[in-house]
Structure 1
Amino acid sequence: MRKILFQPQFKSVMNTHTRDILQFLVQNSVNFNILCDMKKASFSPQLPEHITSTFNEITLFVLAGYTFESIELHEGCMSFEAGFGSENIGSFVSIEYEGIVQILLHDNDLLREIPLFTNVSHPCFYNFSEEELQEIESIQREGLEQSNLAFALNPENGRFFKK
C-alpha cells in the first residue's frame, strides 16, 4: 500500500485530480468546503497569532460568497481571499494541492457535509509512527531516484541534458 500511496507519481496523479475537481466546481459555481493540512497553507498578509493559534493541524475552510468568487487555481496550489477572526481580518490563503485532504459538499437535505474527494495519499489518514514516516520518505526518494535514472538512461532523452 505504501509503495503506491506515497510514490511521487501517484501523489502527482492525486494533485492533478484535486485541481481538476476544484476547477470543475469553480466552473460550475458550486460552493464547497476543504479540509486542509495547515503545514501546506500560507497567508498573505500573515495573520496574527491570536487567530493562527486557533487553527487545528487539519482545518476546514468554507468556500462560499466572496471567498468562492476569489478562488484562483494555479499550477501547484489554489488561493482565495478570506476574512478571519471577529475582526474579519482579510488575507489571501494559498494551499498546495497536496495539502488538500478532502473536498466536501454541503447537503441541505441531510444537513451535513458529504465528502466528494479524499486525498488518500495524505499521511493524516494513517496513524504512522516516526519510523514509518521516515520509511515513507525513503520510498518517495527511491521512487524519484529511479524515475530520474530511467529518464537519464533513455538515449532519446539526451537532448535534455547540457553537454
Structure 2
Amino acid sequence: MLQEFLENEIFVRLMRVHVHETLELLFQEGVNFSILANIAEVDFDPPLPVHITQHFKPITMFVLAGYTYESARVDETMLVFEAGFGKENMGSVVQVPLSAILQVVIEETPILINLSIPRESEEEKEALEKGGIEKSMVALLSNPENKKLFKNS
C-alpha cells in the first residue's frame, strides 16, 4: 500500500511542486542550501570523466553556495547550476530533475524530504536507456587509456 501511494501520480506531482516552491523560496530569501539527489538522473554538461564520477555515491550531495548558488536557477521540472568537480575543479553545468531531489538541507538539517517514486513512461525509459549508453561511451572514451581498446577504422 505504501509503495502504491509513493508512486501515485498525484502524490509525485505534489512533491515535485513542493520541491519547486521550496527551492524558489530559498532563492528568493538568498539562503544557501544542499540537495541530496539520485545521481543516476543527474546530467552533466560537459560530461565528467570517470576518475571523478567513480567517486559519486548513488545518492550524492550537492552544496549550493558561492558561485554555484549564484549560477543556479529552477523551473517547474529542473534545477540547473554550474559547479566544479575534482582536484582540477572541472566545470560542468549540472541538471537535476526536481523528482531526483530526495532532500533539501540547510546547515545539516533536512527541511524537505521527497519520498515520491516517479514512474517512467515507455518513451522516458527508452530515452534514458539510449542516453545511458551514450553517457557510458563518453565516460569510457574520456580516459585516453581506453581509446586503445577500439580499433582504428
Q: Give me the TM-score of the superposition, normalised by structure 2.
A: 0.74
User: Which residue of structure 1 aligns with residue 28 of structure 2?
Assistant: 27
SS of corresponding position for 2:17: helix
Partner of 1:101: 102
Alpha carbons 1:101, 1:122 under 8 Å: kept: no
Deviation at 1:74, TM superposition (A): 2.2
Deviation at 1:122, TM superposition (A): 4.2
Structure 2 regions of 5+ residues with no counterpart? 122-153
Q: What's the counterpart of residue 82 of structure 2?
A: 81
Higher radius of gyration, 1 or 2: 1
Contact 1:99/1:122 (CA < 8 Å) preserved in 2?
A: no
Show the counterpart of 2:60.
59
Q: Over residues 37-85 of structure 1, what are the superposed CA-to-partner deviations in whole Å (9 max), with x where a residue is unaligned?
A: 0111000010111001110000000100000001111231110000000
Query: How many residues are treated as equivalent by the alignment?
Result: 120
5+ long unaligned stretches in structure 1: 107-112, 124-136, 142-163
Ranges of 4+ aligned residues in structure 1 off by more than 4 Å: none
* 1:116 alignment partner, one of 84, 90, 111: 111
Aligned-residue offset at 1:8: 1.2
CA distance in 1, matches of 2:48, 2:75: 22
TM-score where L is the length of structure 1: 0.70
RMSD: 1.6
* Counterpart residue type for residue 103 of structure 2: Q
**Which SS does the other structure have where 2:92 is aligned?**
strand
Q: Matched residues in 2 for 1:4 and 1:14: separation?
A: 12
